[in-house]
């Protein structure tokens, strides 16, 4: 992951915000995840995390914008959403596995337990990860041209 973006995590996230034109919802948590991914050579897990987050946000958009989805397709999308959400949780847990217990407990309470508040927080985190994936795709295209 070190060669995927040009700066340290705070500068990188500032660039993502600038590029997207919006503030990140979970910037402090993203800084921690990025730092842990760098420290623990979790670049592949982070790449998988942002890709999966982008996929989930795409599923949400399709579900919201397509009122004529069949019940069979809705059931498939619910299962796919659930499986990929579990994957995101597992990837974050993997990335922060060497963090202090209080950090792990914070993520558990804020994002992983099944409450309305944690689902809202997770949705905000997924949106932020989607912005990071979009920025990295832009950055890769820019470097290739």
pLDDT band at 2 (very low <50, low <70, confident <90, very high): very low
Q: What is the pLDDT of residue 7?
A: 55
Residue 1 lies in a domain: no
Of 31, 20, 81, 17, the C-alpha closest to 52 is: 81
Inter-axis angle of helices 27-39 and 71-95, nearest 10: 60
| Residue 4 included in any domain | no
| Number of structural domains found in the chain | 1
Query: What is this structure's pTM?
Result: 0.88
pLDDT tens column, 60-113: 998 888 878 888 988 999 999 999 999 999 999 999 999 999 999 999 999 999
Q: Residue 124, CB half-sphere, CA atoms under 13 Å: how many? A: 17
Q: Which of 35-39, 42-46, 90-94 has the lowest mean pLDDT?
A: 42-46
Q: What is the DSSP letter of 111?
A: I
* Eight-class DSSP state of 113: S
2 part of a folded domain: no
Q: Residue holding tokens 């990071």?
A: 132
Any domain includes 49: yes
**Domain of 79, in residue numbers:** 9-144
- C-alpha separations of 16 from 31, 66, 111 in Å: 12, 29, 22
């Amino acid at each position: 992951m070190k060669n995927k973006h040009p700066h340290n995590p705070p500068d990188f996230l500032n660039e993502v915000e600038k590029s997207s034109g919006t503030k990140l919802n979970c910037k402090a948590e993203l800084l921690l995840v990025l730092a842990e991914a760098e420290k623990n050579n979790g670049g592949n897990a982070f790449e998988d995390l942002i890709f999966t987050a982008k996929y989930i946000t795409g599923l949400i958009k399709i579900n919201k914008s397509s009122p004529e989805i069949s019940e069979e397709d809705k059931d498939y999308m619910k299962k796919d959403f659930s499986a990929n959400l579990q994957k995101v949780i597992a990837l974050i847990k993997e990335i922060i596995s060497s963090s202090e217990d209080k950090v792990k407990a914070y993520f558990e309470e804020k994002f992983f337990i099944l409450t309305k508040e944690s689902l809202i927080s997770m949705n905000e985190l997924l949106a932020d990860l989607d912005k990071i994936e979009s920025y990295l795709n832009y950055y890769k295209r820019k470097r290739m041209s």
